[in-house]
A and B are shown apart, each in its own frame.
Chain A
């Protein structure tokens, strides 16, 4: 009964989405007030219905209703409760339901937090999102219905893939989807701008916080995914350039370009066309990612060709979205080139260059991801391009981008002078060069690329310090330095935090790629091995039993200078239902290093093959990602967005006054 209710709610949600997608859009074009007014309630009703459908599916999982095919495929009565809930999005059907739910959440958010956007703008934005919803509801209902019954019902379920039975995987997909789907808001704003012909700085100001929020969720989602791969896959890598990872990384690169281009559009009115185009591409890449992951095309191009129903549907949605929006762009885009004029040396030029670098990087990832698929589908040959390709491409593209990360925020808009930039950044240059040379020597081994990595990281860090210092000196606020920093605009601080996060990330990556120590070896009980200044003593393996698995649990005592540091318990689990072996690594996390031990196989009487890693600064990689996301959060809490969203109408009269204030504290004109 409950699953049927869910199915029915899903169909109702589709019907409401059709209303939401069509009437407000037509109303906005023709000026029908009552149709425009439908946008908000429709978005809210749609959310209620899809949330109900989702709740029904969760209920089926919690109740172990194995008469529902999807539950029988993904769950098991022995599965712990929290994994039963996360199993809802552990498979194809459920994760698509999560996709439409999150799209509805974003529509709901737009309908609530847009109190003083012009009504016709809200109507268009919400309607475009409604149309996207329609496409995906049809997809779920026609090709991937999670409520399909299984008759006769299964006695027990096939269990969730053990790899997914992990706390990291409970929150990773929702975060990632919040990001992916969140770019639909930026996309809808871009389409609304094309339809209405309104594409001014106010438009950029409306769409900017939404884009930033989507970006911060995607950043968190990718970070979590990478962290999960690190501890769950058992060989300590944090990024594999796997097509599934690339599918989420491409929208991130394009989205990063988009938030920077939006900054220029909001502040200077420049790059309008460019910004709209980026918004379209970013969301298209999110759809492409969904296609790659959900169509099965990655597992096998040929499986896709023989059973193309799902893949073809998403591909059609993708082609429709890109086709219609690009056609609209060609037809309606304002014919004003780059907008405001600026010189070759200016903040606009720096932002534009960084944009191009990010897009080239994105195109390189696209090539490396799609070209093998293309060759395969044409039966020309099977190739793969692994990490060496991506590494070779990324370093030379990102080095100049990181260099410009320090220059951009310090350069003036419109016209900057090189001597001025050099003077203001000279200390950053000195510090970064010295640290870049010294850090590798301190770490014990010098190398050109690692030295470049450290130089880049310290370059960005010290430039962040310098721009904050400049602002503090200029600050009219009273009080100590801390008060003055707090008083700076949040969007500026957010930019600083995000850039600082990039620097932290670079340190983590450079450290771990340059100085990690890995050892695979055979260890007898009582064997000791020294690694990275620690002694690892293997004390044997015992049998343990978990709720739905049995495991060999190793015990490794770690000592430093004879003192006990920690005891690690790596496991080799066999999940009973799927009889699938899983390596569960044991990690001792530290600020400057991780100790990572995982079990290989039993070799002979009590001896095991064991893998031990010493990973310096590896947590800085995710720490950096987290700081980047935090920067995004800080930026959207900026006062000017709140000003706009709450009291814009009332403040109209005060606007002239504000402008005076803006002009006085050059702060505002220099924000990112």
Chain B
């Protein structure tokens, strides 16, 4: 009888602890998930207003401007269909450049400017971030689809 009580105790304590831990993990997961959006997604208002998200695409040629403080950088991210202006303050990763793929994390301000607090680096110059690749392809498909539909009209 006593041994059975003890085992029951073990199981109750164990399950209790595990469910607390599981709740903790899933809660943390829920609240820290960061979604990825392309400029087209953002223009279609799919991106969350008051939550961090990742924006990816190419840095548009000729769009990069540096403020006098030497640290605040303005540039435009494009997926060749839509564009989003971005502001970042800080030191950019080594392989950041115009015409290159980029992924930035941050949120939109009221003027529709993306305030990035992190710009992610690539590890070599021939590598395109997969999200960016995908976003470019989706934008391309969307434009060609709309072209086709406008032609068929």
Among A356, A371, A381, A383, point to the contact of B18 (Cβ < 8 A): A356
- What 1/0 flags go to A178-198 for Cβ under 8 Å of B? 000000000000000000000
Q: How far apart are the CA atoms of A333 and B117 in the complex, in Å?
A: 52
Give chain A interface residues in 383-400, CB to chain B under 8 Å.
383-386, 388-389, 392-393, 396-397
Whether A389 pairs with B32 at a CB distance below 8 angstroms is yes
List the B side residues contacting A580 at CB < 8 Å: 94-95, 124-125
B92 with A383: CB separation less than 8 A? no
* In the assembled complex, A439 has its CB within 8 A of some CB on chain B: no
Chain A proximity mask over B122-143: 1 for CB below 8 Å, otherwise 0: 0111010011011000000000
A521: B residues at CB distance < 8 A: 70-71
| Chain B, 16-49, CB within 8 A of any chain A CB | 17-18, 21-22, 24-25, 28-29, 31-36
**Do A600 and B92 form a contact, CB below 8 Å, given A344-B10, A356-B17?**
yes
Question: Do A522 and B25 form a contact, CB below 8 Å, given A300-B130, A383-B36, A579-B125?
Answer: no
B91 at the interface (CB under 8 A from A): yes
Q: Which one, A6-14, A53-61, A141-149, A601-609, is touching chain B?
A: A601-609
| A537 CA / B123 CA spacing, docked (Å) | 31
Q: Nearest-CB distance from A350 to chain B (Å)?
A: 13
- Number of B residues whose C-beta is below 8 Å from A? 40
Question: Is A299 at the interface (CB under 8 A from chain B)?
Answer: yes
Using CB atoms, name the residue of chain B closest to A599: B91
Partner of A393, one of B17, B24, B94, B130: B24
| C-alpha spacing A161/B14, complex, angstroms | 48
| Docked-complex contact B131 and A609, CB < 8 angstroms | no
Per DSSP, chain A at the interface is: mixed
Q: Counting CB contacts under 8 A, is B1 at the interface?
A: no
Question: Which of chain A's residues have a CB closer than 8 A to the CB of B112?
Answer: none
Asked if B90 and A161 sit within 8 Å, CB to CB, the answer is no
The smallest beta-carbon distance between B125 and chain A, in angstroms, is 5
CA distance A578 to B31 in the complex (A): 40
Contact between chains at A603 and B21 (CB < 8 Å): no
How far, in whole Å, are A25 and B6 apart by their CA atoms in the complex? 42
Please name all residues of chain A whose beta carbon is closer than 8 Å to the beta carbon of B36 when the two chains form the complex.
381-384
Interface residues on A, range: 35 or more
Q: Is A467 among interface residues, defined by CB-CB distance under 8 A?
A: no
Q: Which of B28, B34, B90, B123 has the most CB of A within 10 A?
A: B28
Interface string of A515-530 (1 = CB under 8 A from B): 0000011100000000
Are A389 and B29 closer than 8 Å at their CB atoms? yes
Instruction: Tell me how far the C-beta of A261 lies from the nearest C-beta in chain B, rounded to whole angstroms.
Output: 15
A356-B18, A360-B21, A383-B36 known; A161 and B123 CB under 8 Å?
yes
Known contacts: A580-B95, A601-B92. The answer to whether A360 contacts B25 by CB under 8 A is yes
User: Which one of A168-176, A275-283, A361-369, A442-450 is at the interface?
Assistant: A361-369
The reply on A616 being an interface residue by CB < 8 A is no
Partner of A301, one of B6, B13, B17, B130: B130
Across the interface, do B124 and A303 meet the contact criterion of CB distance under 8 Å? Answer: no
Say yes or no for A611: interface residue by CB 8 A criterion: yes
Q: Kindly identify, within residues 93 to 113 of chain B, every residue whose CB is under 8 Å from any CB belonging to chain A.
A: 94-95, 105
Measured between beta carbons, the chain B residues less than 8 angstroms from A364 are: 25, 28
Q: Which of A330-381 contact B (CB under 8 A)?
A: 343-344, 353, 356-357, 360, 363-364, 367-368, 371, 381
- Asked if B9 CB lies within 8 Å of chain A CBs, one says yes
Tell me, yes or no, whether A163 is within 8 Å of chain B by CB: yes
Contact in complex: B95, A609 (CB < 8 Å): no
Determine whether A632 belongs to the interface, using a CB cutoff of 8 Å to chain B. no
**Chain A residues with Cβ under 8 A from B89's Cβ?**
520
B13 touches A609 (CB 8 A): no
7 A-B residue pairs with CB within 8 Å: A356-B17, A357-B21, A360-B18, A364-B25, A385-B34, A386-B105, A393-B24
6 A-B pairs with the lowest CB-CB distances in the bound complex, closest first: A522-B70, A300-B130, A389-B32, A382-B36, A600-B91, A603-B70
> Which residue numbers of B lie inside 8 Å of A, CB to CB?
6, 9-10, 13-14, 17-18, 21-22, 24-25, 28-29, 31-36, 54, 66, 69-71, 89-92, 94-95, 105, 121, 123-125, 127, 130-131, 133-134
6 extra interchain contacts, Cβ-Cβ under 8 A, other than A382-B35, A382-B36, A389-B32?
A: A303-B130, A357-B21, A383-B33, A520-B90, A522-B70, A609-B91
